[in-house]
Amino acid sequence: MDNTLLSIRNLHTSFFTHVGEVKAVQNVSYDVRRGEILGVVGESGSGKSVSYMSCMRLLQEPGRIMGGDVQFKGESLLSKTNRQMRNIRGNRMSMIFQNPMTSLNAVLKIGDQITEPLREHKNMSRAEAKREAISLLERVQIPDAEKRLSAYPHEFSGGMRQRVLIAMAIACRPDLIIADEPTTALDVTIQSQILELMKDLQQDLGTSIVFITHDLGVIAETCSRVVVMYGSMVMEEAPVDDIFHRPAHPYTEGLLRSIPKPGMEDKRLSPIPGSPPVQLSPPPGCPFAPRCNYAMNICRRRLPEFTKIGENHRSACWLLSGHAPSNNFRRENI
């Protein structure tokens, strides 16, 4: 139990829009362990980002946490005051966003932005914070670190800006870094540099990283465990090798079939039919049932429970329940 850093339990988050309640996160439960890189994969609207905005207490109107709990190092984050949260954010847990241009303040020098958490959380003097900022910039391999402190964000390239954001995120040696599509806006060669850097930092600092992404390639190359989300729920949770080689949910399997496999590029892809659900009027049963090749009657009526497949592997699918007729799905995979 001691190994658990962040524990999300039965989290429900909704957005109250003019047309009605949009259930963005429904009954999401899983843990982030100490020192691991956890991948959270899902398509747009699957709730992967909103669940972390909820954990960080960064939700804005009309979003509201409707139920559940989030424990960080054994303490509930949802009962903390805003002041207490400010002491945790940027200090014990920090975030790296997708677009490095909009997440940096364009009118402040890089140096001021990196020293801010150090002065705020670590009570460093101006000179101490500056020294620390230089070493942070060096740590993320920004050349000419001292000079660059007085540069503005627009003077950096996209990859360099993302490095600055990483420097800010690790400034207070947090226990947890949440990286929300950190490389999606970058070119592949730069993406590969940033992923390398994040893996190195994770090794050095022992920080846990949650990697939110839709890119299965990025997941395969960086993460040790994976949570698959669809239609605001968790579908499957497993070690990375199981996800790619023994998927136990038809959605995970469908995702893998819709991308060209290494060595089998000439084969036709098998896309998942249909389109992602509209959360305004979710179907009553499994959110994936309308697109699922294996859907049974019960799938459209009742939500599946999790079935444990292995030590760290669970999947929410009726096919895995003892009552399901024998089917091709699992046999193909295992």
The residue ranges that bind another protein (CB under 8 A) are 43-44, 157, 159-160, 187-193, 195, 214-221, 240-241, 244-245, 254-262, 265-266, 268-273, 275-276, 291
Task: Pick between residue 190 and residue 303 the one whose CB is nearest to another protein.
Answer: 190
Residue by residue, DSSP assigns 267-328 as SPP-PPPS-PPPTTS--SS-TTGGG-TT--HHHHHSPPPEEEEETTEEEE-GGGSTTSPP-H
Shortest spacing between CB 18 and another protein, in angstroms:
15
Task: Pick between residue 124 and residue 286 the one whose CB is nearest to another protein.
Answer: 286
Residue 120 and residue 171 in contact, taking contact as beta carbons nearer than 8 Å: no
Task: Pick between residue 175 and residue 181 the one whose CB is nearest to another protein.
Answer: 181
User: For 330, left (φ over 0), alpha (ψ -120 to 50), or beta?
Assistant: alpha
Residue 248 and residue 309 in contact, taking contact as beta carbons nearer than 8 Å: yes
Task: Pick between residue 10 and residue 17 the one whose CB is nearest to another protein.
Answer: 17
Distance CA 168, CA 183 (A): 16
Shortest spacing between CB 100 and another protein, in angstroms:
13
Task: Pick between residue 76 and residue 157 the one whose CB is nearest to another protein.
Answer: 157
Shortest spacing between CB 77 and another protein, in angstroms:
30
How many helices (H) and strands (E) the chain has is answered by 12, 12
Reading the block at residue 28, the tokens are 């999401």
Task: Pick between residue 265 and residue 332 the one whose CB is nearest to another protein.
Answer: 265
Cα torsion at 180, 186, 187, 193 (round to 10°)? Answer: -70
Alpha helix ranges (H) inside the chain: 48-55, 82-88, 110-122, 126-139, 145-148, 158-170, 188-205, 216-222, 240-245, 250-257, 297-301, 328-333
Reading the block at residue 133, the tokens are 């900022």
Task: Pick between residue 2 and residue 311 the one whose CB is nearest to another protein.
Answer: 311
